Structure 1
Amino acid sequence: MSVEKVDTLVVGGGQAGLAMSEHLTKCGVPHLILEQHRIAERWRSGRWDSLVANGPAWHDRFPGMEFADADPDAFVPKEKVADYFVAYAGMIAAPIRCGVEVKEARRNVGRSGFRIETSEGVVEANNVVVATGPFQRPVIPALLPDEAGILQIHSNAYRNPGQLPEGAVLVVGAGSSGVQIADELAQAGKRVYLSVGPHDRPPRAYRGRDFCWWLGVLGKWDAETPGPGTEHVTIAVSGAHGGRTIDFRRLAAQGMTLVGRTESYRDGVVTFAPDLADNIARGDANYLSLLDEADAFVASNGLDLAAEPEAREIGPDPECLTDPILELSLADAGVSSVVWATGYSLDYGWLKVDAFDEKGRPRHQRGVSVEPGIYFLGLPWQSRRGSSFIWGVWHDAAHVADRIATQRKYLAYREPTKRETKIA
């Protein structure tokens, strides 16, 4: 069997893989991208039908190309986001092969480089860039047994309200995905219970500027590590309905029932932690603190941005917040389905190298692995808060490509012969 050889193999043809390709090309590094499905496939088939980008078009893009036929302040639908990346791949002439699965990658024995087994044969590469992103294996807690008789799906499998059976729905997880799905289900006439854990709740916009802009000018996108106790805190933000601030009290006033973190299940009854009020209060504090920082920035820089005092108004607490439900009989409540918006875990089972800690997390410095020749791209907090966002991954790719190019130069060094030295 013939073996294809390439300097650098990029695994994954989404936003990370394409950003990597652009910068490798700029650095003169020969490379190949392998994508198991289509370009940016997760935007098409790993999201619900009505999803739009959580950031405005002027922000959530690569520097080299704007979204075609989109208002800069609009929140682009998911299919258009995927189309954007297809067009970008064409613009940069990315050397990508779709429909090719990478099954295993190992370091060569006794010589440099890696041997990569794929669905279309063997590839050998000096470097491997893992650009598969953070959304790999959907996490569904082992809480409700199959015999509970309830339809259970992860948010990555949810598409629209018509997909669910008649009856009420429990949505577990109040980050961006959980809140948007719960709201859509409620708008479709479903009785919805939303399990709310610790979260940050930034304003969608304030004083005429989107929160993406505020995080930029306040330096928050460049934060290098999460704050104390915030490693597992989700962010409740949405571009749905033209973009508006997530307000749990408003959702409750519209008929949704809020509950605390989902804790356990027994004999048809789900129990919730008594933490709903604390979680809502934490989100409020996060919201108000950003308004404070924004006001201080406006004052110190003399900006002409109109004040917005009404943004500080917090509505009355609904009954589900003042008298929270701690136990819910699924049968009595008519709950027929559960949507788990509980995130993802990493899956690097195909990568047989010593690059991971005891929990299976990559050991790296800004994407440069402890295993020479292995690189990662698109990880949350890879170099800063913005790393897993479209524009952030593009900037991280520049650093990784530079490191690959620099290492190639060292390895290409050839000691001059004595004759060459004399001539010089």
Structure 2
Amino acid sequence: MTNVRTSIDTLVVGAGQAGVAMSEHLGKLGVPHLVLERERIAERWRTGRWDSLVANGPAWHDRFPGMEFDGIGPDDFASKDQVADYFVAYAQKIEAPIRTGVEVTKVARMSGQAGFVVETSDGVIEARRVVVATGPFQRPVIAPIAPKDGDIHQIHSASYKNPAQLPEGAVLVVGAGSSGVQIADELRRAGREVYLSVGPHDRPPRAYRNRDFCWWLGVLGEWDAEVPRAGREHVTIAVSGARGGQTVDFRALAHQGMTLVGLTKSFENGVVTFETDLAENLKRGDENYLSLLDAADAYIERNGLDLPLEPEARRVHPDPACVTEPILALDLAGAGVTSIIWATGYAVDYGWLQVNAFDEKGKPRHQRGVSSEPGIYFLGLPWLSRRGSSFIWGVWHDARHIADHIVTQRKYLAYQDAVQREARSLEDEATSRESAALQMRKLSAVNVS
């Protein structure tokens, strides 16, 4: 570490979508700030995803209000590199003060004064406020039930790039959210035999009656839901923008050759066992899917919209054999499974953030991103303020709220500083008068004598 020591009003940690959004709002409001990024702008989009990934929302929806995507139509789904390029261009557009290649290693409150000492790979920074914009995808999580032997190739979805990187043979994909189902389908299309472990999930239509599901969740007020429904806090969502965007239909995937299994239960002596919940998980996914169609139909009728009927959207494929006769145990070697992909999500990592901003489980304590530790803010987390908080457009709106809070705090502090300056001025003036009076008394004494 160098001996460089600087100070800044607000330090933003991370230059992904959250950090860029935060910089825009702070810049507009005249708040001096600096954004630090340990790699490149939006690096996770470039190297932390698989090669064929596209955004899960259309370009008209998954963007910031201030700029459209270049080179694609509004209803297209941007590739991961196009998304990364978008944020680089946006940062240039707003002239964001971003320093890349600088890692923050420790944040701690200063002793006896306001603000924080921030240790980085390029020196120490003193900051009055710190915005944690590192997002939710920090540490890939692989379930503790994963087999410990080295006979089978295992990776997290964060490390998956394309089918060619895996050894020959069948693949078990654990997790059927957006990542898991897209990776499993890509492997199937590449000629691999695929087993997909399906847990509880939501399954919205990609589009219905000529409107994308992002539009439907908007007009139905679902994006603005402030808390997840009870019991649905950890339910994944199966949606994809791949190949122009299609509704995820697990039964259709099974009829095309994929083998569905229930929630992965355990591994022992080369055998993996599954829960008996596959049919129930598909049923609940169907209920979620149909409830959105019902809500959309009611909205269309209520508002007199002229949108085409889509009866085919309600057609349900018959249950495939893997559902009616579920596999509860699978000998991996016997089935030719040589790889396991764990599409089991991520955990946050705040070991570097040594402040009183976490509950007993290590989760951030905050209200709409405003931490319980004064001067610390969180941005980019799921359900930060609403359902849409972790989406590109949602993080932009959350950043505006946090920036407004910072400006308000700066006004209070400016008032305090003004009061202190006035007090010092009055004190100096009184001291000056006393000094002048003393001098006059001395002069009078000399004249008398």
The TM-score, its normalising length taken from structure 1, stands at 0.98
The CA distance in 1 between the partners of 2:150 and 2:172, in whole Å, is 14
- Summarize the alignment of residues 4-403 of structure 1 with structure 2, pairs less than 5 Å apart: 4-403=6-405
Matched residue of 1:379: which SS?
coil
1:41/1:418 Cα in 2 relative to 1: closer, same or farther (>3 Å)?
closer
Amino acid at match of 1:204: R
Q: Is contact 2:4-2:122 (8 Å) kept?
A: no
Q: Is contact 1:177-1:341 (8 Å) kept?
A: yes
The CA distance in 1 between the partners of 2:147 and 2:192, in whole Å, is 23
**Structure 1 residues 135-190: Cα deviation after superposition (integer angstroms, max 9, x where no partner):** 00000012233315111100000000000000100000000000000000000000
Matched residue of 2:272: which SS?
strand
Identity %, equivalent residues? 72
The CA distance in 1 between the partners of 2:124 and 2:327, in whole Å, is 56
**Structure 1 residues 330-375: Cα deviation after superposition (integer angstroms, max 9, x where no partner):** 0100100000000001100000001001111100000000000000
Alpha-carbon offset, residue 412 of structure 1? 1.3
Amino acid at match of 2:326: P
1:179/1:411 Cα in 2 relative to 1: closer, same or farther (>3 Å)?
same
The CA distance in 1 between the partners of 2:297 and 2:14, in whole Å, is 42
The CA distance in 1 between the partners of 2:56 and 2:115, in whole Å, is 39
The CA distance in 1 between the partners of 2:194 and 2:392, in whole Å, is 32
Alpha-carbon offset, residue 417 of structure 1? 5.0
Amino acid at match of 2:114: S
Alpha-carbon offset, residue 2 of structure 1? 3.7
Amino acid at match of 2:135: G
Q: Is contact 2:147-2:268 (8 Å) kept?
A: no
Q: Is contact 1:56-1:73 (8 Å) kept?
A: yes
Alignment: residue pair count: 420
**Structure 1 residues 42-70: Cα deviation after superposition (integer angstroms, max 9, x where no partner):** 00000000000000000000000000111
The CA distance in 1 between the partners of 2:343 and 2:147, in whole Å, is 18
Match of 2:438? none
Match of 2:443? none
Q: Kindly report structure 1 stretches of 4+ aligned residues shifted beyond 2 Å.
A: 416-420
Amino acid at match of 1:24: L
**Structure 1 residues 269-288: Cα deviation after superposition (integer angstroms, max 9, x where no partner):** 00000000000000000000
The CA distance in 2 between the partners of 1:73 and 1:192, in whole Å, is 30
5+ residue gaps in structure 2?
427-449
Q: Is contact 1:161-1:184 (8 Å) kept?
A: yes
Amino acid at match of 1:67: F
Alpha-carbon offset, residue 26 of structure 1? 1.3
Matched residue of 1:265: which SS?
strand
The TM-score, its normalising length taken from structure 2, stands at 0.92
Q: Is contact 1:168-1:333 (8 Å) kept?
A: yes
Amino acid at match of 1:361: K
Q: Is contact 2:178-2:239 (8 Å) kept?
A: yes
Matched residue of 1:263: which SS?
strand
Amino acid at match of 1:153: I
The CA distance in 2 between the partners of 1:375 and 1:323, in whole Å, is 50
Alpha-carbon offset, residue 3 of structure 1? 1.2
1:310/1:13 Cα in 2 relative to 1: closer, same or farther (>3 Å)?
same
Amino acid at match of 1:365: Q
1:251/1:314 Cα in 2 relative to 1: closer, same or farther (>3 Å)?
same
Root-mean-square deviation over aligned CA pairs: 1.0
Q: Is contact 1:148-1:268 (8 Å) kept?
A: no
1:329/1:222 Cα in 2 relative to 1: closer, same or farther (>3 Å)?
same
Matched residue of 1:62: which SS?
coil
Matched residue of 1:332: which SS?
coil
Amino acid at match of 1:104: K
Amino acid at match of 2:231: G
Matched residue of 2:412: which SS?
helix
The CA distance in 1 between the partners of 2:16 and 2:394, in whole Å, is 14
The CA distance in 1 between the partners of 2:358 and 2:67, in whole Å, is 35
